[in-house]
Structure 1
Amino acid sequence: MDSRGARAPARTRLLDAAEELFYEHGIAATGVDAVLRRAQVAPATLYAHFPGKDHLVAAYLQRRHERWRLTWDAALERAGADPRARLLSVFDALEDLQRVQDAGRGCAFLAAAVEVVDPQHPAHPWLLADTGLLTGRLRSLAADAGAHDPGALAAELLLLYDGDLAARTRRSLPAPGVAAPPVRDLAAAAVDRHLTAPGP
């Protein structure tokens, strides 16, 4: 990353290195020494900023969460007042995010949740924050759009969102003759179905 250049603050270099390595190789498989080498800092510098690896993991997820939230906020702003566009903005935001950070290995939060199982771990609140943002915002947008079952629509969109992230991993292993429709198109069909008034 460009921000990991010589002029970048040590904390930024540490977070950049942690993000690359944790996402690429996994949290447990990435030792502190690997982060130090990638960031080009001494152990004392790491511990001046973070009490230990667990807190570095938490800071990595916090930064990723905040980047995602701001990206989605911007997509919502572009969607304006159109309730259908606002519901689909989560998929637009995912495309926007792909341009600035790697999403080719799926969801960083779901991957971290497999490894961070202790609710007392300092990173655990950021796993909850990610799920809370997605479920809460999608349900609110579905209700604002007039869906007859906002919870069901939000759940369906979340499944498609998770599927979109998983599909990005599979794109490096294409199956000949198999061409799935864009996930956003599937989401648009789901939105249209849920916004249609239920029959008598």
Structure 2
Amino acid sequence: MNTSIKKETLLNVAERLFYEHGFRGVGLKQIIREANVANMTLYNHFSSKEHLVEEVLKQREERYWSYLDDFVKGEIDSPFLFAVEAHGKWLEKESYKGDMFLRAIEDYAGTNNDIENIARSHKSKLLRYFQTLAKRMGEDNQSDLAHYFTLLLEGATSMTTLIGAEKATEYSMAMAKKIVQPSS
């Protein structure tokens, strides 16, 4: 395995383990063992567990935005609905056990690293994403729409652990339609 493949393997294994067992529930030894790499390989790429968590969150965020953008790209008539649908599909595939970014905020609040900032930034970016969509659509109530849809997606994410991604998405889509097509 070359260096970049080893780093990618470490990130993927760490993300899976952190997601399944929480950040505190996974040690570096377990990641090294499951990634099938030497101790030094991990430390050559990541100076600490916190640095590994930061990189995992950045990778996950990049994947999320790429997924959402690919789904919504070019949609002119109802990008908000496509964004809600894309988020629902993400929940089914990638976030069925809750939100990794919220967990990071909870687990690393007040610590001296960038983990909490990365996670909070992800949440802020969602709001800005919907503000941009509203602006592109020429909506009058851009700020309101951005907040409605950010809360809608965050609520769907939270409810996934309770009612499942499919049901949470179904409710989210119904609510989204009422927001963008109130007379329906």
How far apart are residue 66 of structure 1 and its match? 0.3
Superposed CA offset, 1:122-180 (max 9, x none): 323421331232010101212333433221221111111012112221236xxxxx999
Give me the TM-score of the superposition, normalised by structure 1. 0.79
Relative distance call for 1:18 and 1:149 in structure 2 (3 A) is: same
| Deviant stretches of 4+, over 3 Å | 178-181
Whole-Å separation in 2 of the counterparts to 1:24 and 1:188: 33
Q: Which runs of 5+ in 1 are unaligned?
A: 1-5, 173-177
Corresponding residue SS for 2:181: helix
Relative distance call for 1:181 and 1:87 in structure 2 (3 A) is: closer
Whole-Å separation in 1 of the counterparts to 2:104 and 2:141: 31
How far apart are residue 98 of structure 1 and its match? 4.4
Corresponding residue SS for 1:182: helix
Whole-Å separation in 1 of the counterparts to 2:168 and 2:83: 22
Q: How many matched pairs? A: 180
Question: Does the aligned pair in 2 maintain the 1:71–1:96 contact within 8 Å?
Answer: no
Question: Does the aligned pair in 1 maintain the 2:159–2:168 contact within 8 Å?
Answer: no
Whole-Å separation in 2 of the counterparts to 1:181 and 1:137: 22
Q: Hey, which of these two has a bigger chunk of helix by percent? A: 2
Tell me what 1:97 maps to.
Answer: 90
Question: Does the aligned pair in 1 maintain the 2:84–2:169 contact within 8 Å?
Answer: no
How far apart are residue 118 of structure 1 and its match? 3.1
1:87 maps to amino acid: F
Tell me what 1:39 maps to.
Answer: 35
Tell me what 1:121 maps to.
Answer: 113
Tell me what 1:76 maps to.
Answer: 72
Q: Percent identity?
A: 27
2:131 maps to amino acid: R
Q: Radius of gyration: which is bigger?
A: 1
How far apart are residue 12 of structure 1 and its match? 1.5
Q: Which runs of 5+ in 2 are unaligned?
A: none
146-155 vs 103-112, which deviates more?
146-155
Give me the TM-score of the superposition, normalised by structure 2. 0.85
Tell me what 1:168 maps to.
Answer: 160
